[in-house]
Amino acid sequence: MADRIWTVEGTGANPIVAVAIHNGHSMREELAALCAVSESDRLREEDPYTHRWTQVAATRVVGLRSRFEVDLNRPRDGSVYIGPEDAWGMQVWKERPGAAILARSLAEHDAFYQEMERILRDVVNTSVGSLSLTCTPTTTAALDRTAPRPILRKIPK
């Protein structure tokens, strides 16, 4: 993976971690060429400017890529949209991305969660008290109760 698809700012010296997973809009060139969703429709389903909300925390994680590349808010096995049933009825691809392209997206998802585990372990190890995780949907589409939900794990000290 050449570039990270997120940024991390802050020290972890505070028990609050703010994450704006769907802030990004860009896509890898190989996926952008295959994407059937218009720029405006993609933007509607993304959450631009949510990075501003992360300023409340000492540690900030901000997504830089479109959720149509890889949805970091979903479990790995549902993080890359394939059919309309994955993306609110939207036809995402002009043609299905090949296995190597999909593998690169899954590698991005894996790397993100490895980094989040590292960040959260640092918070647990440097903070007094306990770690609370809150997941708040920020788009109307995220309120769809049939959509897959992220899996939260307890991070042991």
Q: Residue 139 falls within a domain, yes or no?
A: no
Q: Residue 155 falls within a domain, yes or no?
A: no
Q: How many domains does the chain have?
A: 1
pTM of the model: 0.79
Give residue 56's pLDDT: 87
Domain span at residue 30 reads 6-132
Contacts 24+ apart (CB under 8 A), 92-96: 92/35, 92/36, 92/37, 92/68, 93/34, 93/35, 93/36, 94/34, 94/35, 94/36, 95/34
**Cβ proximity of 93 and 84 under 8 Å:** no
Q: Residue 111 falls within a domain, yes or no?
A: yes
Q: Residue 150 falls within a domain, yes or no?
A: no
Q: Residue 51 falls within a domain, yes or no?
A: yes
Give residue 15's pLDDT: 80
Give residue 120's pLDDT: 86
Q: In the chain, which stretches have pLDDT less than 70? A: 1-2, 12, 127-157
Give residue 156's pLDDT: 57
